[in-house]
A = this chain, B = another copy of it.
């Protein structure tokens, strides 16, 4: 692999001048510039990025941490981020925390070891106090998930409102026995959604039944399990607000298998508005998250922070959430 020295030798110029050509500096004799360019071409020269990183103290790489890449929601989020990153000349390192705290912390080390210029947290396994120490080493922002105790920029959706409109919709349809599959309390996002659920229920004067509340779940299989737990109840819920479209899809599929009609016997509301929600039968009423917009904004902000050395301070950017009504309610 040719180095800058070899290019210099071949042209009879100094490495300094070659470097200036590479970096499009002004003040290089046009003839010499051309000479260098030809030599680079002939030698197949390409600058060594490790050397540039070490010298320049930048990596042009950004890490994004998600919790489960097989969740299509994250697929779309990452897609939007990758697009902006590529446009702006940044590489994307994909980190999957697999919902584990330790993995997330290890991935945050990338910033310390100077392997990335910044990190976007699209999921959050650790508390702010454990994440905060890393902010000293470069910009960290959150996108999708958030922690209001955190002193970092966040691009998020109004989850309380999402929880509210989904629940209100079920109430408006005449339901009172409403189950809720909410995710763990550990995550603020799910707490806020649940707060929206509670607000809607309270406004309507409907008591919340503990047995109808299901903890943290993520995939199709979890949806199936939840259905069975509801099905086994004496007093079955007539509706469920699931934590995501995959969970909702699992509920619906199993309901159909057990001849439980959706929405007549069981109404189902999902979350995310994934393509899946429109594909299965009946289509899933769900809360649309502006996934693409979130990813785009987060990456734009990250690049901006890296480029302008912007200070990392609290800033919450709220994006709109919207009820999409289909046949499952």
Contacts and interface: CB of A to CB of B under 8 A. Distances in A.
Nearest to A78: B69
A5 to B, nearest CB: 15
A240 to B, nearest CB: 17
Contact of A82 (B69, B220, B275): B69
A218 to B, nearest CB: 12
Contacts of A83: 96
Contacts of A276: 276, 279
A70 to B, nearest CB: 5
A271 B160 CA distance: 39
13 contacts: A1-B137, A46-B109, A50-B115, A53-B54, A54-B54, A75-B75, A83-B96, A91-B110, A92-B93, A220-B279, A249-B279, A279-B280, A280-B281
> Among A47, A50, A79, A82, which residue has the most Cβ atoms of chain B within 10 A?
A50
A50 B59 contact: yes
Contact of A54 (B50, B93, B275): B50
A326 interface: no
Interface residues of A, number: 46
B115 A96 contact: no
A257 B51 CA distance: 59
Interface of A: 1, 46-51, 53-54, 57, 59, 61, 69-70, 72, 75-76, 78-79, 82-83, 86, 91-96, 103, 109-110, 112-115, 137, 220, 249, 253, 256, 275-276, 278-281
A112 B46 contact: yes
Given A69-B78, A281-B281, 9 more contacts: A49-B114, A53-B53, A61-B93, A69-B82, A70-B72, A70-B76, A70-B79, A86-B103, A280-B280
Contacts of A93: 61, 91-94
A69 B92 CA distance: 13
Contact of A113 (B47, B103, B280): B47
Contacts of A137: 1
A115 B280 CA distance: 42
Contact of A75 (B49, B69, B113, B275): B69
A75 to B, nearest CB: 5
Contacts of A220: 275, 279
A109 B60 CA distance: 15
B59 A70 contact: no
Contacts of A249: 279
A61 B50 CA distance: 12
